[in-house]
Structure 1
Amino acid sequence: MQVRNIMITGASRGIGKALVEHFLAMGDTVIGVSRSRSDIVSENYHHFLADVATEADAKHVFTSVKKQLGKLDVLINNAGIARMNAFALTPVSNVQEIMNTNFMGTFIFCQKAINLLRKSPNARIINLSTVAVPLNLAGEAAYAASKSAVETLTRIMAKEIGSFGITCNAIGPSPIATQLISGVGDEKINKLIQQQAIKKMATVEDVTNIVDFYLNPNSHMVTGQIIYLGGIS
């Protein structure tokens, strides 16, 4: 199998770190991006300290990748933050922070990646969403809205860049035991799980399974799709 150049945002922990380890184990070259340092050490791993919502940071990342690697095969926009609050009590500053990281960060990195992705025979963009979108979860208005925007971006991008040979899809994980939901109470998590067809927590392996499906060369006709874990529709 040909070695792929795969960029993953939010790469220092949680799902992002698991994806980095997954692809390194497969022999790929991985470019990780996050605001914090990574403890992963590999000759095939390149880590950039950057804020995905800052265009200057993104420009530096892609300029460096172009010089070092020449092309990009996959972009996985995983970087995201959440602030669980009732709508009436949510500070506007929190909403701005969430939208900047979750939506603007995804928008900026997708836009900057296009030229490098066009050089790949199997170019892929995968964006991370959440089951909070279809479930319209109370207390997650800003977070769900930001990810809903990511889903709309995914569908429109799929139409606009399909002629470049780039597919664009998304994954909506159900609850996974990562730092992102560490502050959410067990009662709320259990209530959410009961709304799923498969009533259990997901794992990072469930996410990598869908990622691998999207990245399969035989999935070249799959684009503009959002797959939710747990049987949510």
Structure 2
Amino acid sequence: MSKIILITGTSKGIGKAIANYYLKKDNIVIGCSRSESSINHKNYRHFSLEINNEIAVVNMIKNIKKEFQKIDILINNAGIASMNHILTTSIDTISKLFNTNFIGTFLFTREVSKVMMKQKNGRIINFTTVAKPLRLEGEAVYASSKAAIETFTQTASKELAPFNITVNAIGPTPIQTDLIKAIPKNKIDELLNKQTIKRFGTFEDIINVCDFFCDDKSNFITGQIIYLGGVNN
């Protein structure tokens, strides 16, 4: 039976790969990004917005509810990265990172949960990063924005459990996407060497965990954070 899946940040990279995967499995996918849609499929709907714009997010969820009456799965994929020493990090950079990564995740979780609460069922997947447990130099603010998402994930899982909504998070290792293009090669190599399995992650690795969290049999799994590549706290 097809599901209604909402994925943020679907214009490229991980979000686009996840969207295409679930479209191939005959689901209805709703995506969003700052830009116009880069996916052309009869079962895909796209919204162009800033994910930290409260009014835009509220209106988007209202429109989805009006058309489909439900939302089965929310994947909060949208995010931005920045690599700066704390001595050279501006307040503007901090605001952008937290507004996109944390506030965007919060707004979509809050609004979609209102829909899931009424249907008494739902799956929410958030995105963190291995930069958080590895305490990578140069990623203090980026990792902090994702640490906020981890705490939010675990607390939200308790608040939403009475409505049969699970909330979990995935922490990918570096994936070869635009997000890491600006990071020096030696920094990427240093990160990969800290992993138990020393390779880049793939879209398939991430989709595998999404499938696990979304599976009907995973209704007893919530408040969990899975880091890929064998990274430990």
Give me the TM-score of the superposition, normalised by structure 2. Answer: 0.98
2: CA distance, partners of 1:60 / 1:11:
18
Which whole-Å CA distance do the structure 2 matches of 1:119 and 1:178 have between them? 37
Per-residue CA deviations over 1:89-112 (Å, capped at 9, x if unaligned) read 001100011000000000111000
- 1:210 counterpart residue number: 209
- Measured after TM superposition, the shift of residue 119 of structure 1 is 4.5
Q: Which residue of 1 aligns with 2:80?
A: 81
Further displaced range: 193-202 or 34-43:
34-43
SS at match of 2:166: strand
Preserved contact between residue 58 and residue 108 of structure 1 (Cα < 8 Å):
yes
Partner of 2:157: 158
Residue-by-residue CA offset, 1:139-158 (whole Å, 9 max, x unaligned): 01110000000000000000
**Match for residue 127 of structure 1?**
126
State the alpha-carbon separation in 2 of the partners of residues 45 and 127 from structure 1. 21
1-side partners of 2:200 and 2:69: how far apart? 39
User: 1:120 offset after TM fit, Å?
Assistant: 4.5
Q: Give the structure 2 partner of residue 199 of structure 1.
A: 198
Q: Which aligned segments of 4 or more residues in structure 1 are displaced greater than 4 angstroms?
A: 119-122
Query: CA shift at 1:42, angstroms?
Result: 1.1
- Cα deviation digits, residues 201-228 of structure 1 (max 9, x gap): 1101100000000001000000000000
C-alpha distance in 2, partners of 1:138/1:185?
13
Count of aligned pairs between the two proteins: 232
Aligned partners of 2:130 and 2:227 also within 8 Å? yes
Q: 1:121 deviation in Å?
A: 6.1
SS where residue 194 of structure 2 aligns?
A: coil
Q: Which runs of 5+ in 2 are unaligned?
A: none
Q: Percent identity?
A: 46
Shift of the alpha carbon at 1:118?
A: 2.6
Structure 1's unaligned 5+ residue stretches are: none
Deviations 1:136-181 (A, max 9, x none): 1100111000000000000000000000000000000001001111
1:122 and 1:187 mapped to 2: Cα distance?
44
CA apart distance, 1:27: 0.4
Determine the C-alpha separation between the residues in 1 that align with 2:210 and 2:172. 11
Moved more, 117-126 or 91-100: 117-126
CA distance in 1, matches of 2:38, 2:83: 28
CA distance in 1, matches of 2:98, 2:81: 10
Specify the alignment match of 2:36 in structure 1. 37
What TM-score comes out, normalization by structure 1 length?
0.98
Q: Which residues in structure 2 correspond to 1:4-153 (within 5 Å)?
A: 4-120=3-119, 122-153=121-152
Answer yes or no: is the 8 Å Cα contact 2:12–2:38 preserved in 1: no
